[in-house]
């Protein structure tokens, strides 16, 4: 995939196989406006349709204050109901695109992640966060509720009862609490979320990309099924890998005691 240019996102490469996506509105704590919604929707669509050499994505925020403050409430102030719903439809398509992107996406939470920002991090495959960052689902304080899969992904990450407490109180919680509850995978020192996420992304990118994509899909969708149906889904995903050049290369490299050269074929 050729690197696209966006008004609200900064896109760079870390080596051949890792893409770094930065929410790039630091003057408003990287809040999501309509344009950023369109940019994110387009990015995830491109990565799904034509990932090219991209095997892993790291999503972070510009600056060290915030990952993302959520929806841009200044832009939303005075919106008609019709315009609000139309904007939210853009946000919905972006979240769907992120959740269903076949390429793994790691959130490097470099600062606060509130409301839609928290939901965006939750829609990624897993989260690294700096100590001192805060998370919150503040929507009920505004007369709305989480609408970017927050009620679904948060409950799956921390359990139903904890998710109800977080969402219904709208109280912020720390990165340390998020780690304790299972929402965050790793706590990082300030300034280290992106480097450590990139290190993990490189490790993922060294593995067979089709295998990574099929395993990600099996975990994500299998959890929506009962155990035996999920296992059947897993076997279907597994069998799609048998007749691949990467499977043959992986076994051959193991027996030849060398590093495999995966092509995603």
* Residue among 147, 142, 144, 137 at smallest CA distance from 169: 137
CA dihedral 58, 112, 120, 159 (to 10 degrees): 110
Mind telling me the catalytic residues? Answer: 119, 139
Contact 105, 53 (CB under 8 A): no
Residue 180 tokens read as: 């304790």
State how far the alpha carbon of 120 is from the alpha carbons of 159, 228, 253, 258, in Å. Answer: 18, 30, 38, 39
CB atoms within 10 A of CB 67: 31
Contact 124, 107 (CB under 8 A): yes
Residue 165 tokens read as: 């407490």
User: What angle (nearest 5°) sits at the alpha carbon of residue 18, between those of residues 263 and 42?
Assistant: 100
Residue 193 CA neighbour count, 13 Å, CB half: 34
Residue 240 tokens read as: 């799609």
């Amino acid at each position: 995939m050729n690197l696209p240019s966006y008004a609200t996102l900064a896109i760079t490469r870390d080596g051949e196989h890792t893409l770094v996506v930065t929410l790039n509105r630091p003057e408003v704590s990287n809040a999501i406006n309509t344009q950023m919604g369109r940019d994110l929707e387009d990015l995830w669509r491109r990565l799904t349709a034509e990932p090219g050499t991209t095997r892993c994505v790291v999503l972070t925020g510009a600056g060290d204050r915030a990952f993302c403050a959520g929806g841009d409430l200044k832009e939303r102030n005075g919106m008609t109901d019709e315009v609000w719903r139309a904007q939210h439809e853009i946000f919905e398509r972006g979240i769907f695109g992120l959740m269903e992107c076949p390429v793994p996406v790691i959130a490097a939470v470099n600062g606060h992640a509130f409301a839609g920002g928290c939901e965006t991090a939750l829609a990624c495959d897993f989260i690294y966060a700096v100590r001192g960052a805060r998370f919150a689902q503040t929507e009920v304080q505004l007369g709305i509720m989480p609408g970017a899969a927050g009620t679904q992904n948060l409950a799956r990450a921390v359990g139903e009862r904890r998710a109800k407490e977080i969402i219904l109180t709208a109280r912020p919680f720390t990165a340390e609490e998020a780690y304790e509850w299972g929402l965050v995978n790793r706590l990082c020192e300030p300034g280290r979320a992106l480097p450590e996420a990139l290190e993990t992304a490189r490790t993922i990118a060294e593995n067979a990309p089709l295998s990574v994509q099929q395993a990600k899909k099996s975990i994500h969708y299998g959890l929506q099924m009962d155990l035996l149906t999920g296992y059947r889904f897993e076997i279907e995903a597994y069998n799609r890998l048998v007749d691949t050049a990467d499977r043959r290369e992986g076994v051959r490299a193991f027996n030849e005691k060398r590093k495999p050269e995966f092509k995603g074929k």
